[in-house]
Amino acid sequence: MSLEDDIQQRSFRNIQHKSTVNLLYTISWLNSQISPYFKNSGITSQQFNVLRILRGQNGKPCSLKVIKERMLDRMSDASRIVDKLVAKGLVSRATSDEDRRSVDLTISEKGLDLLKKLDFVDDAGVEVFKNLNEAELQSLNELLDKLRGSTKRKG
């Protein structure tokens, strides 16, 4: 189905306007495809993202600033998300040994166990892209990088 059919809008101001609406609509659709996987886990997709960032630290603590820089949804309130994860026992918080003003965050064993149970989400995400072949996915990734102005030179 086309964007025009999905949102029942026949015209757009210009191609850039249509592209913006299409991306926003697709983001919402993608979230609706993935969010059900978190329903029974007791965490949100933003909390999942923070836990994965901390797991990627391989046991090394990191600051809230690092988490904010690496989060997929930069509009999320990282402090509030971390507070909820600490309250659930999924993240540990301690004063930094190097800088007493800074707080070190690490994923707990309970957090690691939960992520192991949710690792299937990556595989389930493959289903979302079933209508695209590998070349189309490569092009999609390159175009999205280009849109954000973060393309890398080849060669």
Render pLDDT for 106-132 as a digit per residue (tens, 0 to 9): 999 999 999 999 988 887 778 889 999
The pLDDT score that the predictor gives to residue 151 is 60
- The residue with greater pLDDT, 155 or 16, is 16
What is each CA distance from 18 to 69, 119, 129, 147, 155, in whole angstroms?
Answer: 29, 35, 21, 15, 34
Predicted structure pTM score? 0.82
The pLDDT score that the predictor gives to residue 121 is 86
- Among 1-5, 52-56, 73-77, top mean pLDDT goes to 52-56
Q: What share of the chain is helix, strand, coil (3-state, %, to 5)?
A: 60, 5, 35
Q: What is the CA radius of gyration of the chain?
A: 19
pLDDT in tens, 89-108: 999 998 877 777 778 999 99
Name the nearest CA neighbour of 118 among 58, 61, 56, 36. 36
List domains and CATH numbers for the chain.
1-39 (no CATH), 43-125 (1.10.10.10)
Rounded to an integer, what distance in angstroms lies between the CA atom of residue 142 and that of residue 55? 27
**H or E element: which one contains 92?**
strand 91-95
